């Protein structure tokens, strides 16, 4: 198979526009201790996230240093938020979402930290033991493990929300520090993924603009088309069952 030369590789990008990742999400309907149903609260450290709601109804609860917010979700809604936003999906009836994730591949490489109680955030080994689902297990066993970690994250999230709403910023700041400490050893690997993904996509646009300004139409002859079916169906994610695509 012929490989593109360096010049061609700079002006093309094979991934989804902007180097994003995409998945189809059916939000968990498991009940929680506060009477709601839904997913696992967490934040991302370097990825903005977007929801295009395709079915059902619900809400996303968010927590930042600015406070707590509840945003309704219904078909046609488009909602997004930046890194550092703790988010929790609430399912009020068959909620289905197309998730758009900045920096394709980074969330799968660890760019998400669940709001677990502080003792489970003390070091990477303890954290991984609490959040990793058993690979060689039945579907029922995986579901039970996903539900246990969700409930642990709800426990931690409730404490963070109550402290923030009462005017005490330290628990949320402490969670931010713990999240950075957990993720810091992974940053170099994330940089390589970003360089090959979102940064490469932006660089390709710059190269195309160079051709355009020079009146050179040759780059248009190297157009391509790609189509993908889900690489996995019904995977247990943080917020629900996922259909995922291999678009990196």
Cβ neighbours for 60, distance < 8 A, ≥ 6 positions apart: 51, 70, 71, 73, 79, 87, 88, 89, 90
Query: Residue 4: its pLDDT value, please?
Result: 46
Instruction: Give pLDDT tens digits for 135-174.
Output: 889 999 999 999 999 999 999 999 999 999 999 999 999 9
| pTM confidence score | 0.92
Query: Residue 248: its pLDDT value, please?
Result: 74
Residues in the chain, overall count: 248
Alpha carbon distance 42, 33 (integer Å):
17
Q: Which long-range contacts (CB under 8 A, 24 or more apart) does 29-34 make?
A: 29/91, 29/94, 30/147, 30/150, 32/150, 32/151, 32/154, 33/151, 33/154, 33/155, 34/154, 34/158
Q: Indicate the fold that domain 17-220+227-241 takes in CATH.
A: Jelly Rolls (2.60.120)
Residue 210 confidence (pLDDT) above 90: yes
Domain limits, the chain: 17-220+227-241
Query: What is the average per-residue pLDDT within 114-126?
Result: 97
Residue in this structure with the two tokens 């009146």, named with its chain if needed: 215
- At 9, the pLDDT band (50, 70, 90 cuts) reads low
Cβ neighbours for 82, distance < 8 A, ≥ 6 positions apart: 48
């Amino acid at each position: 198979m012929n490989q593109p030369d360096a010049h061609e590789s700079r002006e093309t990008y094979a991934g989804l526009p902007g180097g994003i990742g995409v998945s189809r999400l059916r939000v968990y309907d498991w009940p929680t201790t506060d009477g709601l149903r839904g997913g696992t609260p967490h934040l991302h450290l370097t990825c903005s996230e977007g929801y295009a709601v395709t079915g059902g109804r619900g809400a996303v609860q968010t927590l930042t240093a600015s406070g707590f917010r509840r945003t309704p979700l219904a078909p046609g809604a488009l909602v997004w938020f930046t890194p550092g936003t703790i988010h929790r999906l609430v399912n009020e009836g068959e909620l289905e979402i197309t998730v758009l994730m900045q920096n394709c591949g980074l969330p799968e490489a660890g760019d998400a930290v669940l709001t677990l109680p502080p003792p489970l955030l003390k070091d990477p080994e303890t954290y991984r033991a609490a959040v990793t689902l058993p690979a060689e297990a039945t579907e029922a066993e995986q579901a039970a493990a996903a539900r246990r970690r969700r409930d642990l994250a709800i426990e931690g999230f409730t404490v963070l929300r109550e402290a923030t709403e009462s005017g005490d910023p330290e628990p949320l700041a402490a969670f931010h520090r713990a999240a950075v400490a957990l993720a810091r050893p992974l940053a170099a690997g994330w940089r390589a993924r970003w360089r090959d993904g979102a940064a490469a996509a932006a660089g390709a646009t710059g190269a195309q603009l160079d051709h355009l300004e020079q009146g050179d139409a040759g780059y248009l002859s190297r157009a391509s088309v790609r189509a993908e079916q889900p690489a996995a169906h019904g995977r247990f994610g943080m917020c629900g069952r996922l259909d995922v695509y291999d678009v990196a």
